[in-house]
């Protein structure tokens, strides 16, 4: 499987209208291919939405996109004037989390994006494979991605929490674990953290 992570920057105050328009056709769109999740930014750069799609392959993605563009309901009506910028990444999942989870996992999602030193992604994955089970005893990892197209060498891990207080509680507990963080810091160039909230129609919520 491959995953497309699409992030749109919107006009100030445009998130509610964008989600309303998208939500009106989301059921039709999800019949064509799987939506992993749909979110809007809460902490970090604001006025953004993110949608993550699962495809069998690059060929499947191209076929789905061609098919949806033939539909009268796609793209969602009214969103053209709200969008300012679009960005897309193509990613895969590492063996320790081969597919994203689904269902009700939390009210907020922390997307942590680490830029890995070129050639060292294998080292990061090895350490996560070894030490993630202890961390997941505290709270689940919703998804993990490594980028193949777009910005390269990105390691993206997604953590759901009930709220920001719950996040603080879990992170404080995780720092008491003997092997967390899992020893991957020497292989990282940078780290970024953002908080996103799921839309009402998001499969991850």
Q: What are the DSSP E strand ranges found in 11-142?
A: 34-43, 48-55, 83-92, 108-116
pLDDT over 70, % of the chain? 100
The pLDDT of 188-194, averaged and rounded, is 98
Q: What is the pTM of this model?
A: 0.95
Q: Rounded to the nearest 10 degrees, how much is the dihedral formed by the CA atoms of 129, 187, 1, 205?
A: 80
The pLDDT of 190-198, averaged and rounded, is 98
Domains of the chain: 2-198 (3.30.70.100)
First-to-last CA distance in the chain?
22
Q: What does the pLDDT read at residue 45?
A: 97
Q: How many whole angstroms from its chain centre is CA 75?
A: 21
Q: pLDDT tens for residues 105-125? A: 999 999 999 999 999 999 999
The model's confidence at residue 131, banded by pLDDT at 50, 70 and 90, is very high
The pLDDT of 46-62, averaged and rounded, is 98
Residues 131 and 138: their CA atoms lie apart, in Å, by 12
- 171 neighbors 135 (Cβ within 8 angstroms): no
Q: Tokens 């949608």 belong to which residue? A: 51
Q: How many whole angstroms from its chain centre is CA 107?
A: 14
The model's confidence at residue 42, banded by pLDDT at 50, 70 and 90, is very high
Q: Tokens 């089970």 belong to which residue? A: 133
Q: pLDDT tens for residues 82-95? A: 999 999 999 999 99
Q: pLDDT tens for residues 146-186? A: 999 999 999 999 999 999 999 999 999 999 999 999 999 99
Q: What does the pLDDT read at residue 85?
A: 98
Q: pLDDT tens for residues 64-77? A: 999 999 999 999 99
The mean pLDDT of the chain is 98
């Amino acid at each position: 499987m491959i995953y497309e992570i699409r992030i749109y920057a919107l006009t100030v105050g445009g998130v509610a209208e964008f989600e309303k328009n998208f939500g009106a056709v989301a059921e039709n769109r999800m019949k064509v291919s799987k939506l992993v999740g749909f979110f809007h930014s809460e902490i970090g750069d604001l006025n953004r939405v993110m949608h993550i799609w699962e495809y069998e392959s690059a060929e499947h993605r191209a076929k789905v996109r061609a098919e949806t563009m033939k539909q009268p309901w796609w793209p969602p009506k009214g969103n053209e004037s709200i969008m300012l910028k679009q960005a897309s990444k193509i990613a895969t999942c590492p063996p320790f989390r081969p597919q994203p989870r689904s269902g009700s996992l939390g009210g907020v999602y922390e997307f942590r994006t680490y830029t890995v030193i070129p050639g060292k992604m294998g080292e990061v994955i090895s350490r996560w494979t070894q030490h993630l089970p202890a961390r997941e005893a505290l709270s689940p990892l919703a998804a993990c991605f490594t980028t193949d197209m777009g910005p390269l060498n990105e390691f993206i891990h997604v953590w759901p929490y009930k709220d920001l207080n719950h996040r603080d509680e879990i992170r404080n507990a995780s720092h008491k674990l003997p092997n967390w963080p899992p020893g991957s810091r020497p292989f990282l160039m940078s780290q970024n953290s953002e908080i996103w909230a799921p839309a009402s129609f998001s499969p991850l919520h």
